[in-house]
């Protein structure tokens, strides 16, 4: 199993990243390229998945990019890590639920290495934590499957500006907040990309 690892230091425009993923998907389907894991950040961007509705946009001035991933509206920007992938489920039993669990397991294990306890939620996809007696979202997951190849990915908030979420109803969930790691525990997260990659590759091999 060969997986290309790509890490971008400078912010990558959302449209460029998605075009890159879709091109790689075609190449993988034609056995012309390796699978991909790509860690990056975006400039401030609001994206809407296939299940969003306009009522979830609070600030009507913001620009929304419609995407073909699952899920609803979210924000990407500085201080957040995005992990994109193009992973061939034809080689992994064509089990979407198992693959989502694999992503959840990767995120939970990564946060556990920073002594932060997190959990998944069957009703609300993503990774959550208990903080100051409230359940808050720390990571979002949005996946699309085409020809049994999974792409798009997940994002995890490190030290981003949480005020950006006030302009939308994040992921369509009204009664729960979004937070970031620096709010939960002030420590050095500089090596989190390497830990995400390590855990994701390990889980893909299982």
pLDDT of 79 higher than 80: yes
Grade residue 68 by pLDDT with cuts at 50, 70 and 90: confident
The DSSP 8-state label assigned to residue 14 in this structure reads H
**pTM score:** 0.94
- Average pLDDT estimate for 105-117: 98
Range of the domain at 16: 3-205
> Is 83 part of the annotated catalytic residue set?
no
Q: pLDDT, tens digit, for every residue of 116-159?
A: 999 999 888 899 999 988 999 999 999 999 999 999 999 999 99
* pLDDT value of position 85: 98
Q: Which residues, in sequence order, are bridge partners of residue 150?
A: 87, 145
CB 63 within 8 A of CB 138: no
CATH of residue 37's domain is 3.30.930.10
pLDDT of 1 higher than 70: no
Q: With b meaning 16 or more CB within 10 Å and e meaning fewer, what string describes 5-33?
A: eeeeeebbebeebbebbeebbeebbeeeb
- Average pLDDT estimate for 96-111: 97
User: Which of these is catalytic: 40, 171, 196, 204?
Assistant: 171
- Average pLDDT estimate for 101-123: 96
Of 22, 47, 50, nearest to 168 by C-alpha is: 47
- Average pLDDT estimate for 46-52: 91
CB 45 within 8 A of CB 80: no
Q: What's the structural domain count of the chain?
A: 1
Q: pLDDT, tens digit, for every residue of 113-125?
A: 999 999 999 888 8
Higher pLDDT, 72 or 179: 179
Q: Element (H or E) spanning 29, and its range?
A: helix 14-29
Q: Cα separations (Å) of 9 from 15, 103, 171, 181?
A: 17, 23, 27, 20
Higher pLDDT, 71 or 10: 10
């Amino acid at each position: 199993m060969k997986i290309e690892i790509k890490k971008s230091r400078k912010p990558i425009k959302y449209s460029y990243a998605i075009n890159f993923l879709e091109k790689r998907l075609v190449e993988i389907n034609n056995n012309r390229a390796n699978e991909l894991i790509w860690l990056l950040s975006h400039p401030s961007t609001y994206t809407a998945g296939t299940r969003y509705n306009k009522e979830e946009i609070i600030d009507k001035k913001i620009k929304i990019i419609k995407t073909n991933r699952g899920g609803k509206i979210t924000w990407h920007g500085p201080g957040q890590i995005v992990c994109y992938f193009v992973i061939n489920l034809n080689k992994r039993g064509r089990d979407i639920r198992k693959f989502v669990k694999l992503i959840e397991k990767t995120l939970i294990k990564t946060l556990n290495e920073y002594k932060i306890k997190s959990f998944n939620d069957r009703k609300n996809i993503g990774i959550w934590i208990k903080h100051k007696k409230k359940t808050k979202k720390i990571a979002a997951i949005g996946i699309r499957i085409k020809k049994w190849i999974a792409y798009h990915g997940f994002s995890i908030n490190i030290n981003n500006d949480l005020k950006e979420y006030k302009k939308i109803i994040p992921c369509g969930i009204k009664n729960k907040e979004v937070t970031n790691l620096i709010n939960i525990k002030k420590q050095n997260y500089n090596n989190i990309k390497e830990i995400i990659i390590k855990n994701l590759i390990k889980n893909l091999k299982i």
